[in-house]
Chain A
Amino acid sequence: MTTATKPLTKDNLSEHFKPKTTGNIPRGLTFTAVLIVSAILAVILGNIIWGGYATISYDFLSSPPENGMEGGGIFPAIFGTVALVILMSIAVVPIGVMTAIYLHEYTSPLSKTTRLIRVAINNLAGVPSIVFGLFGLGFFIGFIGGGLDAIFYDSARPIWGQPAIIWASLTLSLLTLPVVIVSTEEALRTIPEDIKNASYALGATKLQTIRKIIIPQALPGILTGAILAVNRGAGEVAPIMFTGAAYYLPYLPTKLNDQFMEMGYHIYVMATQSPDIEKTKPILYGTVLVLLILTFLLNFIAIYMRSKLRRRKVSS
């Protein structure tokens, strides 16, 4: 029991309210915490912008790497990242939206199934990203991919049972599933009950109401969720390390079972395995800056759309 829940009586008043002091010390201390965090953020962003802005040019964005990453650009990594998150979105958005609709429209929030699914969603959000990588390797590549090879192909070389963009994007879609669900649910909560009731009163079935009323109304929230998922997916490296990302490829991925280059993985390998870090540094900083701009841009769009959605909730 906290002090807040004790009943206030004349006798224990002094327990609750110690003699008057000004709040300057706690105010100052907690403000310092805010200042420190802001300062660190400023240093990180400043350092990356300072180190990277000179590298970024049209050529850098549009050409492949040269001389063992000491020259050229990062086009294949950008291409791979975009392809990866598009495939991921195709998988995760429908599943996430339907989960949110199920939780919000089909079951009572107190039912056992709902609670169980909620616990699963919360826990999925907390599974370490490297564990997703292990899972992708064991399940998607080993079990599904290996299984497909064994059943449909008679080749000594694996066709699906190897690291590939499809497995990496499916692994990421599980990782980002909670993001889409939470965001869609938030949007579903803003839809007034009246509109749904009106739809039912006109004789629409549940599925028709979902398709024609609920999903269109929740679209901003669904899009926000998709953007946040893309944002998260574009920055994760651990889940794709073993499931499809490659350090250098002379070609772009064109088939679902191709490997691909990715910006986050590119940064990791350049930063840790470069034979001469001073020579790769400009390109490294440039890549980090491009990745940061991409993620922040997506973040801003998501935050903007969400704040618009919240305003709607207040007005309705």
Chain B
Amino acid sequence: MKKFNFKKKSKIGEYIGEKFITLNAYVALIAILLIFIFIFKESLPIFYDEFIQEEASIDKMIFKQSFAEGREPKFSWQPNSDNPRYSLLPLVIGTFKAALIAMLFAVPLGVGGAIYSSQFASKRMREIIKPVIELLSGIPSVVLGFFALLVLATFLQNVFGFTYRLNAINAGIALGLAVIPIIFTISEDALTSVPQSLKDAALALGANPWQVSFTMTLPAAMPGIAAGIVLGFGRAVGETMIVLMASGNAAIVSANLADSIRTFSATIAAELAEVVFGSAHYNVLFFLGTLLFVFTFFINLSGDMILVKLKEKIQGKAS
């Protein structure tokens, strides 16, 4: 037995210790607030500074701008030209194109894999599948970007004959690889957390095991799967290195998935290094960051809320 030898400490030490721990616990909360404040602060001049607004205002970011007098107005992202234009539309399109393809690719594989692993796989099989997914999630995004840039892009171009090597499909698939582990893990958690008592009841009523899976477990776990998809989408929208390396980074307004794209995150990553501190361009990039932060914040919040509700529901049922 270990000997416990506690010396009595003063109450003040105890008080300070407790307050210090409490203070540390607030770091996460303070960090979230500071992130928002400091990013939003740098984008504020867009809203009030007339000099900055000459170049970039909310109006100019939303509506068409012409390159010069008499030219046809267009949506374009051209921050480095003599007459800089900061239309957000090409970036919005690019971001959602990439996220959409990522989801089309990752949802069937992630959810399918989770259903197999939780419903059909033997225990040994599951012990193979889980590490596979953990390995995939352990690959740094810069490595996925590297792979998409050097290998996947060439492969896809050879197979489908794309005009542009780096395009939305290439970036989307690589992005999907980063999203699959998120969708898989959350869906699998939800599927395995459905209480055994429910399944037993169905089995006792004469259902065969796969009927139990599809009429009982799957519907009960549906909110969890939905949350996995929502959180995966949040990741796909915010992911930077993969799209920066694999998407071609051309801000084009088009519906064609084989065109190059430029996303919010990649725009910030590519342009912030060269930008003049305090210029309109600098403010606009922080504004992009603010939009990205707010968007992913609400996506994550809704995903988490679904999960909390599901947990309460399932635990309530089990008791």
Contact = CB atoms under 8 A, between A and B. Distances in A.
A177 B265 CA distance: 22
A27 B272 contact: no
- Most chain A beta-carbon contacts within 10 A, residue among B144, B151, B240, B265: B240
B300 A288 contact: no
Contacts of A117: 25-26, 28-29
B116 to A, nearest CB: 4
Contacts of B293: 127-128, 131
Contact of A126 (B129, B134, B234): B234
A134 B286 contact: yes
Interface string B274-302: 00000000000110010011001101110
Contact of B120 (A30, A99, A126, A212): A30
Interface residues of B, number: 104
Contacts of A238: 240-241, 265, 269
A33 B109 contact: yes
Nearest to B267: A130
Interface in B10-63: 13-14, 17-18, 20-22, 24-29, 31-32, 34-35, 38-39, 41-42
B143 A134 contact: no
Given A3-B215, A37-B132, A135-B34, A102 B21 contact: yes
Interface in B220-279: 220, 222, 231, 234-235, 237-241, 244-245, 265, 268-269, 272-273
Majority DSSP secondary structure for residues of B touching A: helix
B24 A98 contact: yes
A198 B180 CA distance: 45
Bin chain A's interface residue count: 35 or more
A203 B117 contact: no
A37 B133 contact: yes
Residue from B146, B150, B213, B299 having most chain A Cβ neighbours under 10 A: B146
Contacts of B144: 44
Nearest to B268: A130
A8 B240 CA distance: 49
B4 interface: yes
A134 B116 contact: no
Interface in A62-106: 94-95, 98-99, 101-103, 106
Interface in A26-54: 26-27, 29-34, 36-38, 40-41, 44-45, 47-48
A235 B113 contact: no
Contacts of B4: 199, 202, 204, 212
A134 B147 contact: no
B237 A34 contact: no
B146 A284 contact: yes
B156 interface: no
A229 B215 CA distance: 39
A295 B240 contact: no
Given A40-B177, A264-B142, A94 B6 contact: no
B207 interface: yes
A205 B289 CA distance: 46
B259 to A, nearest CB: 19
A153 B36 CA distance: 29
Interface string A188-223: 000000000001001111111000100000000000
28 contacts: A5-B220, A20-B211, A22-B210, A26-B213, A27-B116, A27-B120, A30-B112, A33-B112, A37-B133, A38-B129, A41-B132, A44-B144, A99-B24, A106-B25, A125-B300, A126-B235, A127-B296, A128-B240, A130-B265, A131-B238, A135-B34, A138-B42, A178-B28, A237-B141, A241-B272, A268-B245, A277-B150, A299-B134
Given A32-B112, A199-B4, A296-B138, 19 more contacts: A3-B219, A17-B205, A17-B207, A18-B215, A21-B211, A30-B113, A34-B113, A41-B132, A102-B21, A122-B300, A124-B32, A126-B297, A127-B293, A135-B34, A139-B35, A206-B14, A208-B6, A268-B241, A292-B139
Nearest 9 A/B pairs, CB to CB:
A128-B238, A235-B140, A23-B210, A33-B112, A30-B116, A126-B300, A102-B25, A98-B24, A2-B219
Interface of A: 2-5, 8, 13, 16-18, 20-23, 26-27, 29-34, 36-38, 40-41, 44-45, 47-48, 94-95, 98-99, 101-103, 106, 116-117, 119-135, 137-139, 143, 174, 177-178, 181, 199, 202-208, 212, 231, 234-238, 241-242, 264-265, 267-268, 271-272, 277, 281, 284, 288, 291-292, 295-296, 299, 303
Interface of B: 4, 6, 8-9, 13-14, 17-18, 20-22, 24-29, 31-32, 34-35, 38-39, 41-42, 108-113, 115-117, 119-120, 129, 131-136, 138-147, 149-151, 177, 180, 194, 198, 201-202, 205-211, 213-217, 219-220, 222, 231, 234-235, 237-241, 244-245, 265, 268-269, 272-273, 285-286, 289, 292-293, 296-297, 299-301, 303-304
